[in-house]
Amino acid sequence: MPIESLTVNAFNGLYFAALLFFASVGLTLVFGILNLLNMAHAAFYGLGAYVAVWTLNNMGDVTTSTVALLTVLVLVIPLVVFVLSAALDKTVFAPLYEIEHVYQLLATFGVILMIDDIIKFIWGASPITVDGATDPSRQLGTLDLLGVSVSAYRSFVIVIAIACAVGLYLMFVKTKLGKISQAMSEDYEMVQMLGINVNRVRVLIFSISVAIAALGGALFVPFATATPAVTLEYVLLSFAVIVIGGLGSLKGVIVAALVIGMVRSFGIAYFPALELAIVFGLMALVIIFKPEGLFGDEGVVE
Amino acid sequence: MNERNTRISRRHFLKGSAAVTTLGSLAGCALLQEDFGGEEIDGIPDEPFRIVQVLFESGPPAFYGEEAMNASDMLVDQINEDGGLIGEREIEVVDRLDEDAGPDSLISDVQAMAQEGEVDMLMGIISSAHSLAVAPAADDQQFPFLVTMPGTYQLFEENPDMEYVVRTAGTNAAGAVGAVRMVEQMDDIETVVTVDPDYAWGHDHQEMFEAGLEAVGVDVEIIESRYPELGETDYSAHVSAIADQEPDLLFSSLWGGDIATFVSQGVDGGLFEAVDESLLIGDTGAPLLNSLGDAMPENVWLGGRGGYQPNYRYDEDESHREFVDEYYERYDQLPGWGAYHEWMGFQALQEGVESAVSIIGDWPTGEQLMAAMNNIAFEAPHGQHTMYGPQAVAPAVFGRPTDDHDLPVDHPLLGEFEFIEATEVNPPQDVLTMDWVDELEPVTG
């Protein structure tokens, strides 16, 4: 196995892990802290992808500057989604916090269908891609990584994922919001009785989580095609991530995303016939030997 | 390459049209002579001809369903503006079934419709796997089913006695064997990697392509076959693995959003610099070129089972020009394969009704109508679209991406078209596809 193909496969694996992290970290946070099993979580990844492709394709007349395009992807879209999801939390999701997980799954599955139909209603069912002129992945070209040329844009996505993971960790251990969140994951009622406005924390955590999923979708789309299928694919993958990593653990999501990303990348490269079996075989192994997931018995940031 | 192809095409084209005339008159005789039993219909009914369509309205292949839906809305409007079928009976699409519900649900819908008797014909279906389940069920219920899109060659080979089912799409043999014909004419191809979706459509294509290459005796080796799952969003691991091997040719029957994603990530990963030539045969054309735009590599052949490219014989063929112009005016994009397949379906329906009414004098029963669609031929962008019994045989048409075209879109379309006659890419009537492919003769032999 030449060193170059090792590097390329590791890079592909890291990139896929970054996407998985964006799509599933919020799912685990919302479950761990707010006790909501939101099946629709990764659907916001799909929504983010469509909003991004639409925004980028409409920016062409105003500017095609790479910095502006990246700012839109990394800051503007997640911010808009953050505000929208706060409204969603107060309306669609508010009644769901009180019900059992099974009903949460059913109800949020309905939300997936709604998001799917909204996407099709607005953008149609045909695959759409970012125009060449406003596609940062084409503008940025390639860079040299250990003698191999890799996409500069995808490297950027990996960096943003790492920054996001570090940011979340710091938020949980350093800020008041993070500490209250951790306490809520331990004992929701006790925190409520201490006079803390848990609803406010709930809205913030929910919106941050959803905004990260949308950020992932936005970053994903310059290098891929927005199709209605994206939604469901990432819903399934994000469940594989949290089953392997353990529900409710930030560390679990990071480790599981990396494991899946690497195993899939090297697996596809050297055993292409096993592609489907790889991710879900891994999931089956974890369910057999450690049903709670790799870090499922730990708190959010333990 | 062009020269040789044209010569072959003309020879077979003439042979083909002679055969069609004979077939047409045979079909007429059968309609008159055969006792279909059951109730006959008197005259032309006043109420509209009621169709239920089945296609994907959700799920990954929904974009294909959308094109088909668009085209059928447009064609039904056009036919009705002229008074309807044979100018006398309007068409009404009374319902649409979402294929995403799965075969079990579709079968029970078909059974219910057949029993209620409120629908005259079922039309459409996209998935090859679904067609294999739903078509025999419709036939069991004696419910007419005009299959317009799926490609699996197994449909009539596994159910040879269906009398209520007709398919106006060519089988996937045309695409796969068409690709073999293209390879026969290429120089310097020694190694091939295949990439096909992991279900019947993809595996069929790969098997036919591999068996066909071996049968015609070209010195080409398939060094690897990959089967990504349907609806994959990240092909980069496949792309770098293929690029590493630097095959001379890449063959793929990925279609729809999948081929768009694959090509776009392939461009990014330097795939089309690592391979010399590609054959992308998963019903590829305008929608792919639209979504890829300028990123579309030029060293690829796109196409498949039929000349369903908007600028293919656009100037020569008036009905094609009208179809493309009208579709573009209505939907602001060029028609893709789903749209073309529906067009062929409606042509067969018009042709079938016309010939049945002219022979019987009254409106045909369901069984008569389906029989009347057997062994007919009608105009398509690629010339005569011929039915061998209930199954259409399509030629293969491939082209290279180019910006040099006159249609009012700012994305590339195809040029340098290669036309491979239907008889070169389909088995003769009553010969099983795989048996034929295993014994495939070289095109020049």
Which domains, and CATH codes, for chain B?
A: 13-171+316-393 (3.40.50.2300), 173-305+395-438 (3.40.50.2300)
B59:A229 CB<8 A: yes
Model confidence over B318-344: pLDDT tens digits? 999 999 999 999 999 999 999 999 999
Q: Using CB atoms, which residue from A229, A232, A270 is nearest to B257? A: A229
- Taking the C-alpha atoms of residue B73 and residue B80, their distance in angstroms, rounded to an integer, is 11
Q: Using CB atoms, which residue from A125, A151, A154 is nearest to B62? A: A125
Domain ranges of chain A: 3-228
Q: Give the list of residues 6+ apart from residue B229 with CB closer than 8 angstroms, or none.
A: A275, A276, B197, B198
Chain A within 8 Å of B294 (Cβ-Cβ)? Answer: yes
- Taking the C-alpha atoms of residue A228 and residue B238, their distance in angstroms, rounded to an integer, is 22
Angle at A160 between CA A154 and CA A166, to 5 degrees: 145
Q: What string of DSSP letters covers B167-209?
A: E-SPPHHHHHHHHHHHHHT-SS--EEEEE--SSHHHHHHHHHH
Chain A within 8 Å of B60 (Cβ-Cβ)? Answer: yes
Angle at B341 between CA A117 and CA B391, to 5 degrees: 130
Chain A within 8 Å of B403 (Cβ-Cβ)? Answer: no
CA distances (Å), origin B341, targets A142, B120, B197, B205? 41, 20, 21, 19
Residue of B nearest to A229 (CA): B60
Using an 8 Å CB-CB cutoff, list chain B residues near A234.
233
- Taking the C-alpha atoms of residue B254 and residue B260, their distance in angstroms, rounded to an integer, is 9
Using an 8 Å CB-CB cutoff, list chain B residues near A151.
268-269
Model confidence over B404-444: pLDDT tens digits? 999 999 999 999 999 999 999 999 988 999 999 999 999 76
Model confidence over A167-196: pLDDT tens digits? 999 999 999 999 999 898 888 888 888 888
Inform me whether the pLDDT recorded for B148 exceeds 90.
yes
Burial of B293 (0-12, 13-18, 19+ CB in 10 A): middle
Model confidence over B157-213: pLDDT tens digits? 999 999 999 999 999 999 999 999 999 999 999 999 999 998 888 999 999 999 999
Q: Which residues pair with A151 in a beta bridge?
A: A142
B233:A224 CB<8 A: yes
User: ipTM of this model?
Assistant: 0.76
Residue of B nearest to A13 (CA): B237
pTM of full prediction above 0.90: no
Residue of A nearest to B241 (CA): A269
Angle at B161 between CA B155 and CA B163, to 5 degrees: 95
Nearest-Cα distance to chain B for A250, in Å, is 24
Q: Using CB atoms, which residue from A127, A154, A276 is nearest to B291? A: A127
| Disruptive mutation site among A15, A16, A122, A129 for chain B (greatest number of B CBs within 10 Å) | A129
Chain A within 8 Å of B58 (Cβ-Cβ)? Answer: yes
Q: A13-17, A227-231, A251-255, B75-79 — which is least confidently predicted? A: A227-231
Using an 8 Å CB-CB cutoff, list chain A residues near B284.
none
Tokens 């406003």 correspond to A134
Q: Using CB atoms, which residue from B59, B66, B265 is nearest to A124? A: B66
Q: Quick one: CA dihedral A239, A244, A249, A251, positive or negative?
A: negative
Inform me whether the pLDDT recorded for A127 exceeds 90.
no
- Alpha carbon A15 to its chain's center: 12
Q: Which stretches of B99-164 are assigned E, i.e. beta strand?
A: 121-124, 145-147
Q: Which helix (H) or strand (E) holds B22?
A: helix B2-33
